[in-house]
Amino acid sequence: MTGSGTNFGASEVESRPRNKCGGKLYIKTYGCQMNVYDSLRMGDVMKPLGYAPHDSFEDADLVILNTCHIREKAEEKVYSELGRIREEKQKKSARGEKMLIAVGGCVGQAEGEEIIRRAPYVDIVLGPQSYHQLPEMVTRAIRDGGGVVELDFPAVQKFDLLPESTSPQGVSAFLSVQEGCDKFCSFCVVPYTRGAEYSRPVNAIEKEAKNLVDQGAMEITLLGQNVNAYHGEGADGKIWSLADLITRLANIGGLRRIRYTTSHPRDMSDDLIAIHGSEPKLMPFLHLPVQSGSDAVLKKMNRKHDAAFYLDIIAKLRKACPDMAFSSDFIVGFPGESERDFEATMQLVKQMNYAQAYSFKYSPRPGTPAAVEEQIAEEIKDERLQRLQALLRDQQTAFNESCVGETMPVLLMRDGKHEGQLLGKSPYMQSVHVRNAESLRGQLVDVRITGAYLNSLAGEIAYTEHKIRKAV
């Protein structure tokens, strides 16, 4: 879980006089891709008020921390970052300048007023459903000297009220199609912080997708906390599934790749499984969290599926699309997890052979049912996490190594670490480093994989080779 400054296009503007809207806007994003998307949209919302992106909180006029509440550490990181920002605010204040600080996202939603009590220099607290009201909140905070808290849940309104135009996101873009979750896994804060499931209408999504493609996107990742539960109003007024939506978006000419994340096994419907076999633009990689391999733990987690159900879905997906690769999330040390339960997780991982996966120690979240259960000792959690991560690392390395010698389409996205190197993305979400490819930046090209590491692949352009072969 990393934080990153968000740059959302446009150029810098001069600092404005005190008590006026506009100026330099710094947004720091924590957590999931939905937050990355929300940060971009916050930038879009603030643009008309004269706020332009700035890449650090130093000298910023408005700082927004777009936070994540899913695990404990992320929340503590927010408070320590606020401490650093406070010093900058004080420095600015000594110069007679103003800095507004806003805390948005899921920590904002969950903690509310508590944030202002703990960090009284914070001016605005808002939840993920209220950021369309940011301009009004900022104006109020400037007028009243802070203390603005907005935690309403008008999800429908939010998407309707956001500006239609979106900032360019480059060749690979995110698009939120669904929000919230009705699953209530017993460890998870999402149903409380993001609220009930809501699906955007197909027309609005299609418009946004076309806009992104016009601005250069070749790959779009459809986002939702429970994205495969998507059931939005279709172009014909009927309810459409995620499969219907993907089929529609696949008609957009310049769009070359479609992905979706994050999904729940229960919502992996037959039509969605089927289009993995029939829609070439849909990438053969799926993040489908299972959380645990033990049926007893899955029951306590209120996951509404057992291990066999999950494996059956995977088998159907592999049948529909034989070169499909998988990723998952795991929680170890969930209350009541015995050594045998943990072994069942290890067994499931061995059976699955993941291309990649995330694993976490259970972190009790206030207000969720599992938080009040008897907890597993920290050392046991640590030890299990290490064992699981060692296995997952081996699988990831083996998967990467299995790609060596293959030629695969890679979307060349940006500069690599070394000079003359570009970084691209394989169909399976692997980072691919390619040398001497500057002229192909932003393109989807065939790359022959020449080397494999834990977290990346090395490759060379296979494009010329094809051309020569065709010419011969």
Point out which residues bind ligand 5AD (CB under 6 A). 70-71, 187-188, 289, 291, 329, 331, 360, 362-363, 365
190 scored as a contact of ligand SF4 (CB under 6 A): yes
183 scored as a contact of ligand SF4 (CB under 6 A): yes
CB of 239 to ligand 5AD, least distance (A): 26
Q: Which is nearer to ligand SF4, 105 or 191 (CB)?
A: 191
CB burial string 446-463: b at 16+ within 10 A, e below: ebbbeebeeebbbbbbbb
Closest C-alpha among 224, 223, 247, 242 to residue 232: 242
Q: Which is nearer to ligand SF4, 97 or 373 (CB)?
A: 373
Query: Alpha-carbon distance 284 to 213, whole Å?
Result: 21
Q: Which is nearer to ligand SF4, 152 or 182 (CB)?
A: 182
181 scored as a contact of ligand SF4 (CB under 6 A): yes
Going through 72-201 in order, the beta strands assigned E by DSSP cover 100-104, 124-126, 148-150, 172-176, 178-179, 198-199
Look up residue 456 and give its amino acid: S
184 binds, among ligand SF4, ligand 5AD, none (CB under 5 to 8 A by kind): ligand SF4
Q: Which is nearer to ligand 5AD, 23 or 289 (CB)?
A: 289
| DSSP one-letter string for 342-401 | HHHHHHHHHHH--SEEEEEE----TTSGGGGSPPPPHHHHHHHHHHHHHHHHHHHHHHHH
CB of 221 to ligand 5AD, least distance (A): 15
Question: Is 274 within 8 Å of 243 (Cβ atoms)?
Answer: yes
Look up residue 106 and give its amino acid: C
* Interaction mask 229-268, ligand SF4, x per CB under 6 A: -----------------------------------x----
Residue position matching structure tokens 């550490």:
73
Closest C-alpha among 308, 384, 323, 398 to residue 353: 398
Q: Which is nearer to ligand 5AD, 172 or 291 (CB)?
A: 291
Q: Which is nearer to ligand SF4, 66 or 400 (CB)?
A: 66
106 binds, among ligand SF4, ligand 5AD, none (CB under 5 to 8 A by kind): none
Q: Which is nearer to ligand 5AD, 187 or 240 (CB)?
A: 187
387 binds, among ligand SF4, ligand 5AD, none (CB under 5 to 8 A by kind): none
Query: HSE on the CB side for 143, CA within 13 Å?
Result: 7
Q: Show the tokens assigned to 227.
A: 């994205």
184 scored as a contact of ligand SF4 (CB under 6 A): yes
| Member of 109, 226, 294, 327 binding ligand SF4 (CB under 6 A) | 226
Sheet holding 257-261, edge to edge: 172-176, 219-223, 257-261
Closest C-alpha among 80, 146, 86, 135 to residue 107: 80
Where is 444: in which H helix or E strand?
strand 444-452
Binding residues for ligand SF4, total number by CB under 6 A: 10
CB of 340 to ligand 5AD, least distance (A): 21
Residue position matching structure tokens 């418009």:
207
CB of 66 to ligand 5AD, least distance (A): 16
Q: Show the tokens assigned to 368.
A: 């969720």
264 binds, among ligand 5AD, ligand SF4, none (CB under 5 to 8 A by kind): ligand SF4
Query: Three-class SS string for 170-229?
Result: CCEEEEECEECCCCCCCCCCHHHHCCCCEECCHHHHHHHHHHHHHCCCCEEEEECCCHHH
Look up residue 3 and give its amino acid: G
Name 210's bridge partners: none
6 scored as a contact of ligand SF4 (CB under 6 A): no
Question: Is 333 within 8 Å of 362 (Cβ atoms)?
Answer: yes
363 binds, among ligand SF4, ligand 5AD, none (CB under 5 to 8 A by kind): ligand 5AD
| Member of 35, 129, 166, 225 binding ligand SF4 (CB under 6 A) | 225
191 scored as a contact of ligand SF4 (CB under 6 A): yes
Separation in Å, CA 214 to CA 166, 255, 291, 406: 11, 9, 38, 31
| Member of 188, 258, 272, 273 binding ligand SF4 (CB under 6 A) | 188
Q: Which of residues 323-382 bind ligand SF4 (CB under 6 A)?
A: none
108 binds, among ligand SF4, ligand 5AD, none (CB under 5 to 8 A by kind): none
CB of 345 to ligand 5AD, least distance (A): 12
Q: Which is nearer to ligand 5AD, 262 or 395 (CB)?
A: 262
Work out the angle between the directed axes of helices 339-352 and 307-320 (0-180°, nearest 10).
Answer: 10
360 binds, among ligand SF4, ligand 5AD, none (CB under 5 to 8 A by kind): ligand 5AD
Q: Which is nearer to ligand 5AD, 110 or 188 (CB)?
A: 188
331 binds, among ligand 5AD, ligand SF4, none (CB under 5 to 8 A by kind): ligand 5AD
Region near ligand SF4 per CB under 6 A, out of 113-121, 183-191, 355-363, 415-423: 183-191
Residues found near ligand SF4 in the complex (CB under 6 A): 181, 183-185, 188, 190-191, 225-226, 264
